[in-house]
Structure 1
């Protein structure tokens, strides 16, 4: 279970990007986060895996308080948080297998990684996952020879090779055509069920969020203002998520402080 309590993220002396945010995700649910640019969606995901340091608040994953971890303990916790990136984040000159095995870097020695001496069990698991997502025949192909959808599948397998307890996806379909986007969203939904893995997806495409996720969280200016099943996301909710203004949000802050 992921439990976020009273999370605040502030850059410098400006207004907080995340404002006292609470969010709980349980089981194998697929949860999408929607909202305009600047709502705080990507910052939220990056606070969870500590790519961005929270200013205050609590982020707990299956009983481990992530915000208090440092050094070796933080690196160990990050192994359990898989991340799928919008820009794929592959090493183009490496093969698909080598990119996939980078998901195991937190588990094997530096020497083994440099020499590419991957454990047999890791190789077996990589082929199993690549077969599941339809890229096993590209195992020895350089990453820069793949299409966008194929590259994102590599990114998904790399994240799953970490044996994560949660999978985060930051705009995983933004660089893809509509058909491929639907394939990737369907894949994430199916894998969540098969692996009993919670998935949290930051996404701009509301239609895909409603079609492929179990729950939608709507953010505006650092706050969660909608959290319900896709069928409850009506036009009124959409207007609140996408038609607000920074001025209105500051007024809300003043009302809450008074």
Structure 2
């Protein structure tokens, strides 16, 4: 379970990007985060995976407090958090298998990584996951020879190779065509069920959020102002998320936190 309590993130002396945010994600639920650009969605994910350090508050993953970790403890914690990126973040000159195995870098020796002598168990698991997402036949193909949808599938498998306790996805379909976007969203939903893995997705496409996720969290000006089932995301909620004023956000922030 991911438990976020009273999270604040401020850059410099400006207004906080995240404002006393509370959020819980558990089980095999697929949770989408929606909101206008600048709402704080990407900053929230970056705080969870420790790409940035929160200003204050708590982020706890299955009993481990993530805030304030450094060095080896931080590296160990990051093993527990899988990340799927909008821009894929693959090494183009490497093969699909080599990119997938980079998800195991936190577990194998530097010598094994440099010489590409991957453990047999890691190779077996990589083929199983690649077969599951439909890219096993590309194992020895360079990453830059793949389509966008195929590259994103490589990114998903790389994240799953970590055997994460939660999977984060930052705009995973933004670079894809509509049909491929739906395929990737369906894949993330199905994998969450199969692996009993909670998934937290930052997404702009509200229709995809309503169709493929179990719960929608709406953010505005660094606060959660909606937290509910896809069917509960009505026109009034959409208005508050995408057209609300800062004053409206302050008025709705406390009820939204209580609902989460």
Q: What's the TM-score once normalised by structure 1's chain length?
A: 0.96
The answer for the alignment partner of 2:157 in structure 1 is: 157
The answer for the alignment partner of 2:131 in structure 1 is: 131
The answer for the alignment partner of 1:201 in structure 2 is: 201
Measure the CA separation in 2 of the matches of 1:251 and 1:230.
22
The answer for the alignment partner of 1:256 in structure 2 is: none
The answer for the alignment partner of 2:109 in structure 1 is: 109
CA contact (8 A) 2:82 2:160 kept: yes
Pick closer, same or farther for the CA change 1:250–1:217 going to 2, 3 Å.
closer
The 5 A counterparts of 1:1-258 are 1-246=1-246, 249=249
Measure the CA separation in 2 of the matches of 1:247 and 1:190.
39
Measure the CA separation in 1 of the matches of 2:73 and 2:50.
12
Measure the CA separation in 1 of the matches of 2:245 and 2:225.
13
Q: How much does 1:52 deviate?
A: 1.0
SS state at 1:68 partner: coil
The aligned length equals 253
Q: How much does 1:249 deviate?
A: 4.8
Between 68-77 and 113-122, the greater mean CA deviation after superposition: 68-77
Measure the CA separation in 2 of the matches of 1:45 and 1:24.
13
SS state at 1:88 partner: coil
Measure the CA separation in 2 of the matches of 1:4 and 1:231.
24
Measure the CA separation in 2 of the matches of 1:190 and 1:47.
26
Measure the CA separation in 1 of the matches of 2:208 and 2:136.
27
SS state at 2:67 partner: helix
Measured against aligned partners, the alpha-carbon deviations of 1:149-202 in whole angstroms (never above 9, x if no partner) come to 000000000000000000000000000000000000000000000000000000
Q: How much does 1:69 deviate?
A: 1.5
CA contact (8 A) 2:53 2:68 kept: no
Q: What's the TM-score once normalised by structure 2's chain length?
A: 0.95
CA contact (8 A) 2:95 2:142 kept: yes
SS state at 1:130 partner: helix
Q: How much does 1:68 deviate?
A: 2.8
Measure the CA separation in 2 of the matches of 1:21 and 1:42.
14
Q: Unaligned regions of 5+ residues in structure 2, if any?
A: 254-260
SS state at 1:6 partner: strand
Measured against aligned partners, the alpha-carbon deviations of 1:11-31 in whole angstroms (never above 9, x if no partner) come to 000000000000001100000
Measured against aligned partners, the alpha-carbon deviations of 1:117-150 in whole angstroms (never above 9, x if no partner) come to 0000000000000000000000000000000000
CA contact (8 A) 2:217 2:226 kept: yes
